[in-house]
Structure 1
């Protein structure tokens, strides 16, 4: 015969605390799940795609190489337009570059938009080799 230790009784306060924690946990999962779903839907419907044309989509978190890739513009053209050295600044966001080089974010955005629009207007359509 084995002697089993009796299970300690949980008080009603502990039971209520456990229920509250479970409810709060489920609510947090639901809240952040909905936020993630809305963000996914927004990006999926109107996010930047390769060769994007709407220059209003430029945001402060973007890096110049990201913008160059998204808008199909040479990176060096963006760095030259802002008069910022490319070396060491490839991973800096527009906001970080504005702080580091004491530039106005609105001026950076306007300059980038002008350069992108200029490249888009002067771009020749790509052909697949057909005459």
Structure 2
């Protein structure tokens, strides 16, 4: 047998004395009419601003183009006579390492956007 505290017994007596209230017959239709009459227009704001979306698209396109040109034999043969005295060594990185660098750089690029979003959400 369960023991009831004084508060539970008091709450039970109050509920029994108060009884149940029944809504009117057309309660649902009145609520629906009130909702329909309100008709507030909600303006949604995109999670990512158009400027950030353009920058992100540019970074992604540059990353894809960079990966394409570094892993394929396709290259632009441009000869600049002014910079012939500078020799740039060919950097050889495996494809797996290139993908790892790309994903890590995109991850660190994403952190400030997520931080700003979370700060705005909890203010």
Bin of the TM-score, shorter chain as denominator length = under 0.3
Larger Rg: 1 or 2?
A: 2
